[in-house]
Structure 1
Amino acid sequence: MTAPTPLPRRTRAAHPLARLAAGAGLLVVLVALLLVPAGPASAHAVLVSSSPASSAVVQGAPAEVVLTFSESVRQVTDKIRVIAPDGSRADRGGPVFDGGVVTVPVDPEGGRGTYLVSYRVISADSHPVSGAFTYSVGAPSTVPVDSGADSGADPAVSLTTRVAKYLTYVGLLLLVGPVLIFTAFWPRRLSRTGPARVTWTGFALVVAGTLAGLWAQVPYTTGGGLFDVDGGSLRDVLGSDFGLAHLVRLGLLAASAFLLRPLLAGREGRADRVILAILGVAALFTWPLAGHPAASPAPPLSVFADAVHLGSMAVWLGGLVVLAGFLLRSAEEHELDAILPVWSRWAAIAVVALLLAGTVNALIEVGSPGALVDTTYGRLLIAKIALFALVVGVAAVSRNLVRRWREAARPRPLRRALWLELAVAAVVLGVTATLVQTTPARTAGANIAGSGSTLFSTTVTSSLYSLQVEVDPAEPGSNSMHLYAYQPDNRPQPVVEWRATIALPSAGIEPIEIPLLPLTDNHATGEINLPASGEWQLRVTARTSEIDQATVTTTVPVR
């Protein structure tokens, strides 16, 4: 029997253009990571309400400020602060956390004027939530300055966090690919040295990315710089769900290292393979348990789907690395005849699982079709889907080449297609690394107290008084109105008689009289039904004595 003819030597080197494409893909990823801005999009929970409400004017100083978030949050030391009008701290004692409700005791003897509330907490998916709002006691005044308020995420910290995620993704596929191929169909006659080096490189990248992620999480949590890490804050991170997931991952990696050596040397037994598979599957779950899926509306489903998504990616792309980098270069024709059809089926199954799991996660995290285009998360998801479609298209070409490669006896076109597939996939991983640090679309559109609230509040002035106007919720339908009159020195201005009308000229709605009920000397309230959206014209007349009165007007946007 004639020995199989080795593949021509000219097929044993990767095409320069293919390598250039792969390198360009990685470069695009790193540039994208640098260009994507950090900022409020890092927050994955939202402040849905507060008491006192943002911009509210209350007559007496409250004994506590209550913040209500969309999900459970945990404390960052000294990052919830209430600043009095004179710049001093008005909060007294530590805040009390109860799920998504945070109660902050404040000085009930505080002075009149505007108070500033700033906060930074950690959401259930390990990401910081920060912001600020004001409320006033008696009358508004100049907003005080909080020198210790949160200044936002440090760009170096945000970049390190994304790069750490990216390293763990790349390391995972480099680790899984060779292990899978060695276990399934690596020809015994071929040396394992090259793929073994790829495996250990992947192992090192996962470890390095995990450690870097743990380190960066400390300043990411506290709002400091990359090297602002102390023992207490590090302990807080290690004791969190995020830290626990990363520590478990490191432990599973350490255990698997003892089983990788015999596998990479070809001396493993069946029990080694089973244990290594169990450790690998367990490690996959540490990624979703440290991110969005753990805080989704359906955590078990999200965690499982994300683990399947990640595992399918590692199987598909990791196998491609070994196939393009080693097997197509070194295996003989009869070996490739047996390997390529099997691998093609495996890759197809992995892509289908990847697509299904990704669809499940997208449905959970996006929440509504409009969020796909209205949120950063949705737009990044669209970009990822488009790139994934491109990868699948290249994979279809690759699979077609697999079916007919032996007819041409030239695997070079197949290798080019595989390298292109990997290059585009590298960009997809970069988008994914950014996506997991971005506010899920399901929460990005939620109302944020102080910015997204529908409460309308404004102050208008006349020669006799200033008038604080509040309309809640400033939407079509029933609305409550509160009017507060103040003298120029911010003392309450007694009002003898109140009159108010509201009209919508653009819709032909003539002035509607608003019945007002005086609650105190300077405070009146009323209820009004606004039948349509638009720019409503509010006119208020306050008589302060038998002969003195003044009229003020303002526009109330009703949406």
Structure 2
Amino acid sequence: MSVAAAAGGSVGGRTSPVRRLLALALVLALLLAGGRALAHASLVHAEPANASVLAQAPANATLLFNEDVTPTRIELVDADGHASAPPAVHAEGATLTVQLPALGQGSHALAWHVVSADGHPVSGVLAFSIGTPGVAPSAGATAAHMPRTLAAAIWLARVAVYLGLFFGVGGVFFRAWVADGAQNPGRPPPAVGVALFIGLAGVCLAPGLQGADMLGLDAARGLSAQAWRTGAASPYGLTLALAAAALLLAGLTRHLPGRGAARAVSLLALACTGLALAASGHASTAPPQWATRPAVWLHGVAATLWLGALLPLAQALRRGDTAALRTLARFSRWIVYPLVVLVGAGVLLASVQLGRPGALLTTDYGRVLALKLALVAALLLLAAWHRWQLTGAVLQGQTGAARRLRRSIAVEAVLVLAVLAVVGLWRFTPPPRALAQAAQAADSPQVLRLHGARAMAELRLSPARVGPVSITAAIDDGASDALAAQAVQFTLSNPAAGIASLRADAQPLSDGRWRAPAVLVPVAGLWDVRVDILLDEFTQLSLQGSVRIQR
């Protein structure tokens, strides 16, 4: 049974608008998720630095992120592409310390997979060399590119959970607290029961799909016990556990005698719904959490009160008795207050996530939010028409008014489905807040350590982005004694971009370092860096390495 049909019949006898909206949202999910890593936490510092050349093998590798992370899979890849697990991995907040085995000369890659505090998997590769740079390890398989079938399955599971919480739990709460004259207040309409069942199905499938994403598996492997346990142990697992509690409590009300017990259990289910939405996700992990988590809870509870009323209200209008009219009048009086809370909390959360108004149209997250806002605006206009036009007509007994209101509620339910489908896309779109933090990390100096037989140079590139880059080098003899150089020159090349060399003469600083203040780097990508050190008329040393320049 479709939600629109359960709410009072399909509009014009057709369900094609629902199918078109769901199909459109599914296509958007595939386009947003396919072919790229879905970063929500950002790596802000690594030791050793990416693309650095070390004289000796490090005992540990340290990764610092912009928010707390939980490691799910860490692999060390050698030059032949052989992957092995490190001896130990220690996570403390936003810092990940990886104990490394004894490493030989040449290039190595540390492939890391973590789950950020908002419950989303993130991955990357840290490459470094010991002694002299060798052939870069092939770690392409370790980079997280979500299969489109997995992205679609994750999106469908999320929408199913939303359906269960908003239509199912909300419908049970409305039946227990607002509906008038019900013989069994705890027994919801059949469509509400279907919504609860769909939500429970989504809750059961979502941990495995989340685990498959975390482990780099496909959608089919999301049914495995390993994937399910991995997803359940993630921050999103707490959300799913609370959602399951809300759905089961809502389902329990149908077996409770009397309105008092049904009201108590449905109130607890409503509270669990808000807690589930606030337990993980973009908004709930945004600072300041003392404001964002309660705002998410209020936003979720207000939405549940509003949306959960649609199906029971449509059923009551179909009866058309005096109790149905009392239910409609009561709903019309109190629904204004949840809507005010819904809008207020939504404005706060949107402002925190966007950071600046321009992000509404210049980022994927902002465009999804803009689409959601357009649909919600249509919903609010429809709700206003219901309250100030159709409700009065129904209560006055005008002919055909109840039928028009039922059909309008069906349209409202279709719009709600579209909103939930769009909200599910946020799983694949990092908020501008996180993008700004990643950009800030890219603006911080990148450190590159180059080693040779007679010299070592520590280079700082600031910022490591396209455009003017300041390069500063501290040069010593490898034993921490300063090296007396007569001249220093930096050479950058990017063969993949067809750039043979960019040369910059460094100037000496008062503290013994050398700096080229504005080297214009035209394109992003992996650049080869060479430092030529002139010691005297007959002696010149060269050190080489690589650095990644961001856009």
Q: Which runs of 4+ in 1 moved over 6 A?
A: 189-194, 448-453, 456-459, 475-478, 532-536, 538-541, 547-551, 556-559
Alignment of 1:409 with 2:402, yes or no, is no
Cα distance in 1 for residues equivalent to 2:285 and 2:31: 27
Per-residue deviation, residues 91-141 of structure 1 (Å, max 9, x unmatched): 751222222111223356521x43322211111222111011323334433
Distance 1:418 1:458, change over 3 A: farther
Distance 1:387 1:231, change over 3 A: closer
1:350-429 matched pairs, under 5 angstroms: 350-399=338-387, 400-405=389-394, 406=396, 408-411=398-401, 412-429=403-420
1:5-16 matched pairs, under 5 angstroms: 15-16=11-12
Match of 2:309 among 310, 319, 336: 319
Cα distance in 2 for residues equivalent to 1:91 and 1:498: 44
Q: Deviation of residue 449 (structure 1)? A: 11
Per-residue deviation, residues 300-351 of structure 1 (Å, max 9, x unmatched): 4323222222222222122122333x2332214x555534333223333222
Per-residue deviation, residues 451-471 of structure 1 (Å, max 9, x unmatched): 776649899xxxxxxx99955
1:505-516 matched pairs, under 5 angstroms: 514-516=506-508
Tell me if structure 1 keeps the 8 A contact 2:191–2:311.
Answer: no
Q: Deviation of residue 239 (structure 1)? A: 3.9
- Once the two structures are overlaid, the 10-residue window that deviates more, 53-62 or 199-208, is 53-62
Which amino acid counterpart does residue 313 of structure 1 have in structure 2?
A
Alignment of 1:274 with 2:267, yes or no, is no
Match of 2:38 among 35, 42, 48: 42
> Helix, strand or coil for the counterpart of 1:129?
strand
Tell me if structure 1 keeps the 8 A contact 2:51–2:448.
Answer: yes
1:464 alignment counterpart:
none
> Helix, strand or coil for the counterpart of 1:169?
helix
Distance 1:236 1:70, change over 3 A: same
Per-residue deviation, residues 19-51 of structure 1 (Å, max 9, x unmatched): 554454444444444443245563321111111
Per-residue deviation, residues 246-275 of structure 1 (Å, max 9, x unmatched): 33443454444333234xxxx523243223
Tell me if structure 1 keeps the 8 A contact 2:489–2:505.
Answer: yes
- Once the two structures are overlaid, the 10-residue window that deviates more, 197-206 or 24-33, is 24-33
Cα distance in 2 for residues equivalent to 1:213 and 1:292: 17
Alignment of 1:286 with 2:276, yes or no, is yes
Which amino acid counterpart does residue 161 of structure 1 have in structure 2?
I
Which amino acid counterpart does residue 214 of structure 1 have in structure 2?
P
Q: Deviation of residue 66 (structure 1)? A: 1.2
Match of 2:335 among 333, 347, 353: 347
1:329 alignment counterpart:
318
Q: Deviation of residue 85 (structure 1)? A: 3.8
Cα distance in 2 for residues equivalent to 1:27 and 1:251: 30
Tell me if structure 2 keeps the 8 A contact 1:94–1:105.
Answer: yes
Alignment of 1:98 with 2:92, yes or no, is yes
Cα distance in 2 for residues equivalent to 1:499 and 1:254: 70
> Helix, strand or coil for the counterpart of 1:401?
helix
Q: Deviation of residue 516 (structure 1)? A: 4.1
Q: Deviation of residue 366 (structure 1)? A: 2.8
Q: Deviation of residue 220 (structure 1)? A: 1.8
Cα distance in 2 for residues equivalent to 1:67 and 1:269: 55
Instruction: Compute the RMSD of aligned alpha carbons.
Output: 4.4
Which amino acid counterpart does residue 306 of structure 1 have in structure 2?
V
Cα distance in 2 for residues equivalent to 1:195 and 1:91: 52
Cα distance in 2 for residues equivalent to 1:18 and 1:301: 43
Alignment of 1:438 with 2:429, yes or no, is yes
Match of 1:447 among 438, 442, 459: 438
> Helix, strand or coil for the counterpart of 1:36?
helix
Per-residue deviation, residues 414-453 of structure 1 (Å, max 9, x unmatched): 3333222222221111111111443232112323799776
Distance 1:51 1:383, change over 3 A: same
> Helix, strand or coil for the counterpart of 2:309?
helix
Tell me if structure 1 keeps the 8 A contact 2:365–2:429.
Answer: yes
Which amino acid counterpart does residue 444 of structure 1 have in structure 2?
L
> Helix, strand or coil for the counterpart of 1:136?
strand
Cα distance in 2 for residues equivalent to 1:435 and 1:186: 34
Cα distance in 2 for residues equivalent to 1:224 and 1:218: 8
Alignment of 1:82 with 2:76, yes or no, is yes
* Structure 2: unaligned runs, 5 residues or longer: 1-7, 451-455, 477-482, 492-502, 524-528, 543-547
Match of 2:176 among 175, 183, 201: 183
Cα distance in 1 for residues equivalent to 2:439 and 2:215: 21
Cα distance in 2 for residues equivalent to 1:433 and 1:529: 46
Instruction: Report the TM-score, using the length of structure 1 for normalisation.
Output: 0.76
1:214 alignment counterpart:
207
Match of 1:301 among 265, 287, 291: 291
2:57 alignment counterpart:
61
Cα distance in 1 for residues equivalent to 2:295 and 2:116: 21
> Helix, strand or coil for the counterpart of 2:438?
coil
Cα distance in 2 for residues equivalent to 1:512 and 1:246: 55
Distance 1:197 1:212, change over 3 A: same
Q: Deviation of residue 526 (structure 1)? A: 0.8
> Helix, strand or coil for the counterpart of 1:95?
strand
2:122 alignment counterpart:
129
Report how many residues are paired. Answer: 507
Tell me if structure 2 keeps the 8 A contact 1:21–1:420.
Answer: no
Which amino acid counterpart does residue 127 of structure 1 have in structure 2?
H
Larger Rg: 1
Q: Deviation of residue 167 (structure 1)? A: 0.7
Cα distance in 2 for residues equivalent to 1:219 and 1:512: 48
> Helix, strand or coil for the counterpart of 1:42?
coil
Q: Deviation of residue 182 (structure 1)? A: 2.7
Which amino acid counterpart does residue 296 of structure 2 have in structure 1?
D
Cα distance in 1 for residues equivalent to 2:490 and 2:281: 51
Distance 1:300 1:482, change over 3 A: same
- Once the two structures are overlaid, the 10-residue window that deviates more, 251-260 or 418-427, is 251-260
Tell me if structure 2 keeps the 8 A contact 1:154–1:223.
Answer: no
- Once the two structures are overlaid, the 10-residue window that deviates more, 363-372 or 201-210, is 363-372
What percentage of aligned pairs have identical amino acids? Answer: 24
Q: Deviation of residue 204 (structure 1)? A: 0.8
Distance 1:42 1:109, change over 3 A: closer
* Structure 1: unaligned runs, 5 residues or longer: 1-11, 460-466, 486-493, 503-510
Which amino acid counterpart does residue 57 of structure 1 have in structure 2?
V
Q: Deviation of residue 543 (structure 1)? A: 5.1
Q: Deviation of residue 353 (structure 1)? A: 1.7
Cα distance in 1 for residues equivalent to 2:530 and 2:211: 53
Tell me if structure 2 keeps the 8 A contact 1:456–1:473.
Answer: no
> Helix, strand or coil for the counterpart of 2:335?
helix
Cα distance in 2 for residues equivalent to 1:415 and 1:317: 14
Cα distance in 1 for residues equivalent to 2:182 and 2:90: 66
Tell me if structure 2 keeps the 8 A contact 1:296–1:365.
Answer: yes
Per-residue deviation, residues 265-301 of structure 1 (Å, max 9, x unmatched): xx52324322331233124312321433453323343
Q: Deviation of residue 394 (structure 1)? A: 2.1
Instruction: Report the TM-score, using the length of structure 2 for normalisation.
Output: 0.77
Distance 1:42 1:495, change over 3 A: same
Alignment of 1:159 with 2:149, yes or no, is no
